[in-house]
Amino acid sequence: MKPTKLPVILSEVETAQSAAAAKSKAPYTHSRPMWSGHSCPLPLILVLLLILTFSPKAFSQDKPIALKGGKLLTVSHGVIENGIVVMQGGKITAVGAASSVNIPADAKVIDATGMTIYPGLIDSETQLGLTEISAVAMTNDLIEMSDEIMPHMHTADAFHAESALIPVARLNGITNAVVAPDSGDTLPGQDSFIQLAGATAPDMLLIRDNAMPLNFTGDQRRNKGGFEKQKFPATRMGLAAQLRQSFLDAQDYKTKWADYERKKSDAAQNQNKDKNNDKDKKSDPLPPKRDLKLEALIPYLEGKKTIVLAAETPSDLETAVGLANEFKLKFVLNHISQAQPVLDYVASLKVPVIVGPIYEAPKDDERYDAVYSLPAQLYKRGVKIVFASYSAHNVRNLPDQAGFATAFGLPYDEALKAITLNAAEVWGVADQLGSLDVGKTANVVIANGDPLDVKTDVKQVYIQGQAIPMTSRQTQLRDEYSK
Amino acid sequence: MQSMSNSKAVLGRVVLSLSLGLTATMAMTTLTLTAPALGQSAHSDVVIKNATVMTATHGTIKNGSVYIKDGKISAVGETVNAPASATIIDAQGKYLTPGIIDSHSHIALDDDVNEATSPITPQMMMKDAFDYQDKNIYRALAGGVTTSLLLHGSANMIGGQAVVIKHKYGLSRDELLFPNAPRSIKFASGENPKRVYGARDQLPSTRMGNFAVQREALVQAQDYMREWDAYNDKLKRGDKDASPPKRDLKMEALADVLRGKILVQIHCYRADEMLTEMAMAKEFGYKLRAFHHALEAYKVADQLAANDVGIATFADWWGFKHEAWDAIPWNAVMAMRKGVHVAIKSDSEDYTRRLNQEAAKTIRYGGATEEEALKMITLNAAWIIGIDDRVGSIDVGKDADLVLWDGYPLSTTGVPEKVLIDGEVYFDRALPGLGMTHYKEGE
């Protein structure tokens, strides 16, 4: 492999970073409770945070960058050998064969000869920013288990921008992700769509409440501990009845508010007509009491937002789809890892599927590769698939799953799309992300080989056109103990 | 993640002279015991030709052949001399590797992993719980695994004695046991024991408690061993009135640890605990074979190498508990470069099915060579279990445990096409149904 100029770029970034840290006008103007109890001096904290959490704001792309000579996996329009990608103002401004692209005179040119260049990868379900150390309860904000119907929980409210897990994930080329609550409730709360770099949580949260999981896998039952301890809903019947009642309540709530708004509007009109008549003022309607839970369900009942419908077995799948159709919910499917007998039915629904993880164990009587081959089986039936790591610490291994699916029949291009363009389409951001196309956000990865191979090393990640420092808590430990 | 099953073990290494003696005895016994079994299964000679043979010890042979006689590797090379009657498998250029060895697994135990009712349970024999019909054995086999070390969990400081199996799925229980494998015992340390017993307001609830409990048990074992030594001395001197001390299974197992008869495998994450375990082993005069998980091995790799203690570690797991917070994916290669025996293991019914991918990560994280990466799931794992003289590489005299791969094994896309154990095909991807040769569906 030919050495590239990347190390030089890295040191420049590091220098810029130190300079920004020295100014102490870091993007972190807000202090975080996590740190406030510590006696660690603030400037040191800021330096640490800067090392661990890169901030595009502090280093907005000031001049164009041209990646020259690499093999471009555009995802949308094939592979370009010896290509050029130009990034400017955080966007991709040119993509093409070296012979056809003019590099701006002021561009910083990166020699990517021998490298593979592809769009930043998108993980369609993660817990990034909701957990730090799985077994340490105080670092987890994964789910509220006090009730099964929790649509008013917003992962955006818990998202921890400074999580040490985020640099670890993006070092492997993951630039965007869906953050979802854990799956122990039927309606555990709303997802966020994030970018894996940014000054603050709001900067990284590209879309708050972009979607909401509806989990129907049996795990949501409150049936643990025998008859003495179990409580409603202890069965799937209970789960379904509770969901149905919740959506009915939300419909009713919506009607009440609509009535109120109409009455208010009527009252206002009457007032305008008869300004001097004080007697009519008492007819001003009172608003219904606000209910955050029911309020949160309304955009989903109206089909304005996507429900992520999780089921595994055929029976759960059909019950869940039945519920979704009853309330005309717009949905994508999630998991369906045991639904092999009903894949034609799945295809007939004409919705995308977040499939897997394909590492789920097959049923006891099934062949060892029954789940490994599920993506290929869905693809054959015309289903749009995307992959997810369903993880926080192992988000970096998302591409391995896509690669593994190719060994069991999924065409390579589809596997790559399942963690780039298909995901962008499912999450409504295909105009900005998911491929190397002019006008899209410059989330671009340079690696020394096939992005779907476990051996491939990512050399540089760009987010919004800015070179991300290729460091994490883990590289720091490595370097410290390699001295 | 089943944190309770994240067991670790320190390998109590056998003193060299003892080890040699044991090996010789084992080899003899093996011959005697396995000869009838081989006869029953009607072994024919097999030649695998046109293979890209990744030997794990002496490089890769392009267009190589392996001659298998009586279940053993009889010849390896560009050409081999074999009788015309031998069954020929034409590999058509595909990769052939040694069978994968998982040096840390909890499959086939039906959750009987921890007898978590006392922190010291060395008398627990994994063999008694071994569920040889567990489908996980088959699924791992389909991923190229031919041998596994089934260990106790890490709820207890000393969990019990392990069992080594070959993945001959479809055969009877005893046919799955690795013949005359060295005994291994599972120790643990750190968060799991202190959590399990601490939650019950029992000792141990701290790392201090952990080590005190372990030390206490070893002290008792020393007393027990002395009583028996004294009795045996009396017998030797011809004292016919000598009465034997009462046998105590718990103490007997620990006395065998002190005598260097059992490989000590220790579940251990933190560097300081590895140092403490090594110091305790020195204090009581036993040896450790390997630290399992050992996610901070990179911090104390010199000391591990100096004590000849191996590690069976994850490729890149981290952050699932506090003692896994300093885990880095470069751990395996950093330790290997310092001279530590490093194996990549699964500790998981999931990952055991694709250990080849896990091993390949060491190429990316730290620049292991192809052979070094392969060794981490074959020969080095065999060393951890103490069976490296019998399996783990494609060398003459070793068991013909082999995997023929569709695709490059150290990649995301390489998958086993055929898996042979003792020269016989047990899994063949081309077969319908489960792809099994020795298992009938519905059984």
Q: Which of B139, B325, B414 sits opposite A133 (nearest CB)?
A: B325
Please state the φ and ψ torsions of residue A273, each to the nearest 5 degrees: -65, -40
Tell me whether A448 touches chain B (CB under 8 Å).
Answer: no
Q: Which of B3, B320, B433 sits opposite A393 (nearest CB)?
A: B320
Contact B412 A478 (CB under 8 A): no
pLDDT of residue A449: 97
pLDDT tens-digit series, residues A203-234: 999 999 999 999 999 999 999 988 888 999 99
pLDDT (average), residues A337-362: 97
Q: Which of A365, A396, A478 sits opposite B330 (nearest CB)?
A: A478
Contacts of A453 in chain B (CB under 8 A): 411-413
Domain A121-432 coded CATH 3.40.50.12780? no
pLDDT of residue A270: 83
Residue of B nearest to A134 (CA): B320
Q: Is the pLDDT of residue A55 over 60?
A: no
pLDDT tens-digit series, residues A134-179: 999 999 999 999 999 999 999 999 999 999 999 999 999 999 999 9
**Nearest Cα to Cα of residue B52 among B98, B100, B91:** B91
| Cα–Cα–Cα angle for A175, A176, A181, rounded to 5 degrees | 135
Tell me whether B372 touches chain A (CB under 8 Å).
Answer: no
Span of A247-261, A273-287, A439-453 with lowest mean pLDDT: A273-287
Stretch (H or E) spanning A31: none
CA dist., res. B26 & res. A131, Å (int): 50
Domain A6-119+434-480 coded CATH 2.30.40.10? yes
Q: Is the pLDDT of residue B283 over 60?
A: yes
Cβ B286 vs Cβ B206: under 8 Å: no
Q: Which of A361, A367, A481 sits opposite B349 (nearest CB)?
A: A361
Percent of the residues in chain B that have a pLDDT greater than 70, as a whole number: 90
pLDDT tens-digit series, residues A18-45: 333 333 333 322 333 333 333 344 444 4
Contacts of A394 in chain B (CB under 8 A): 316-317
pLDDT tens-digit series, residues B368-381: 999 999 999 999 99
Neighbours of A251 (CB within 10 A): 15
Q: Is the pLDDT of residue B246 over 70?
A: yes
Q: Is the pLDDT of residue B5 over 50?
A: no
- How close B327 gets to chain A, by Cα (Å)? 7
Contacts of B191 in chain A (CB under 8 A): 135
Size of interface A-B (CB pairs under 8 A): 103
CA dist., res. B249 & res. B156, Å (int): 17
Span of A199-213, A229-243, A305-319, B39-53 with lowest mean pLDDT: B39-53
**Nearest Cα to Cα of residue A407 among A453, A340, A460:** A453
pLDDT tens-digit series, residues A264-304: 999 888 877 766 655 555 567 899 999 999 999 999 999 99
Q: What one-letter code names the amino acid at B12?
A: G
Q: Which of B143, B298, B319 sits opposite A133 (nearest CB)?
A: B319
Three-state secondary-structure class, residue A141: coil
What part of B 333-352 touches A (C-beta under 8 Å)? Answer: 334, 349-350
The domains found in chain B, sorted by start residue, are: 3-19+99-391 (3.20.20.140)
pLDDT tens-digit series, residues B410-425: 999 999 999 999 999 9
Contact A400 B139 (CB under 8 A): no
B279 versus A18: the higher-pLDDT residue is: B279
Contact A400 B357 (CB under 8 A): yes
Delimiting residues of CATH 3.20.20.140 domain(s) in chain A: 121-432
Strand partners, A355: A335
State the ipTM, two decimals: 0.89
Residue of A nearest to B417 (CA): A407
pLDDT tens-digit series, residues B187-199: 999 999 999 999 9
pLDDT (average), residues A12-21: 35
Tell me whether A397 touches chain B (CB under 8 Å).
Answer: yes
Stretch (H or E) spanning A205: strand A205-208
pLDDT (average), residues A447-475: 97
Select the residue from A182, A364, A416, A474 to test the B interface by mutation, using most B Cβ atoms within 10 A: A474
Largest CA distance in chain B: 71
Tell me whether B298 touches chain A (CB under 8 Å).
Answer: yes
Tell me whether B431 touches chain A (CB under 8 Å).
Answer: no
pLDDT tens-digit series, residues B123-177: 999 999 999 999 999 999 999 999 999 999 999 999 999 999 999 999 999 999 9
The first and second tokens of residue A190, run together, are 């709303």
CA dist., res. A63 & res. A467, Å (int): 12
pLDDT of residue B50: 98
Q: Is the pLDDT of residue A15 over 70?
A: no
CA dist., res. A390 & res. A404, Å (int): 16
- How close B369 gets to chain A, by Cα (Å)? 11
pLDDT of residue A269: 86
pLDDT (average), residues A99-114: 97
Antiparallel, parallel or unpaired: β B415-421 and A108-111: unpaired
The first and second tokens of residue B146, run together, are 């031919």
Contact A403 B353 (CB under 8 A): no
pLDDT tens-digit series, residues A331-344: 999 999 999 999 99
CA dist., res. A426 & res. A443, Å (int): 18
**CB proximity list for A285: less than 8 A, separation 6 or greater:** A260, A263, A264, A267
A21 versus A243: the higher-pLDDT residue is: A243
Contacts of B354 in chain A (CB under 8 A): 359, 404
pLDDT of residue A271: 77
pLDDT tens-digit series, residues B164-189: 999 999 999 999 999 999 999 999 99
pLDDT of residue A416: 98
CA dist., res. A424 & res. A75, Å (int): 12
pLDDT of residue A62: 74
Cα B1 from chain centroid? 20
**Nearest Cα to Cα of residue A298 among A353, A349, A253:** A253
**Nearest Cα to Cα of residue A431 among A76, A143, A172, A144:** A76
pLDDT of residue A23: 34
Three-state secondary-structure class, residue A333: strand
Select the residue from A337, A455, A472, A473 to test the B interface by mutation, using most B Cβ atoms within 10 A: A455
pLDDT of residue B440: 80
| Cα–Cα–Cα angle for A96, A97, A100, rounded to 5 degrees | 85
What number of helices (H) and strands (E) belong to chain A?
16, 17
Model pTM score: 0.89
Contacts of A456 in chain B (CB under 8 A): 364
SS (H, E, C) chain B: CCHHHCCCECCECCCHHHHHHHHHHHHHHHHHHHHHHHHHCCCCCEEEEEEEEECCCCCEEEEEEEEEECCEEEEEECCCCCCCCCEEEECCCCEEEECEEEEEECCCCCCCCCCCCCCECCCCEHHHHCCCCCHHHHHHHHCCEEEEEECCCCCCCEEEECEEEECCCCCCHHHHECCCCCCEEEEECCHHHHHHHHCCCCCCCCHHHHHHHHHHHHHHHHHHHHHHHHHHHHHHCCCCCCCCCCCCHHHHHHHHHHCCCCEEEEEECCHHHHHHHHHHHHHHCCCECEEEECCCHHHCHHHHHHCCCEEEECCCCCCCCHHHCCCCCCHHHHHHHCCCCEEECCCCCCHHHHHHHHHHHHHHCCCCCHHHHHHCCCHHHHHHHCCCCCCCCCCCCCECCEEEEECCCCCCCCEEEEEEECCEEEEECCCCCCCECCCCCCC
pLDDT (average), residues A362-377: 96
Delimiting residues of CATH 2.30.40.10 domain(s) in chain A: 6-119+434-480
CA dist., res. A191 & res. A126, Å (int): 10
pLDDT of residue B2: 38
CA dist., res. B353 & res. B142, Å (int): 7
Percent of the residues in chain A that have a pLDDT greater than 70, as a whole number: 86
Q: Which of A456, A475, A481 sits opposite B364 (nearest CB)?
A: A456
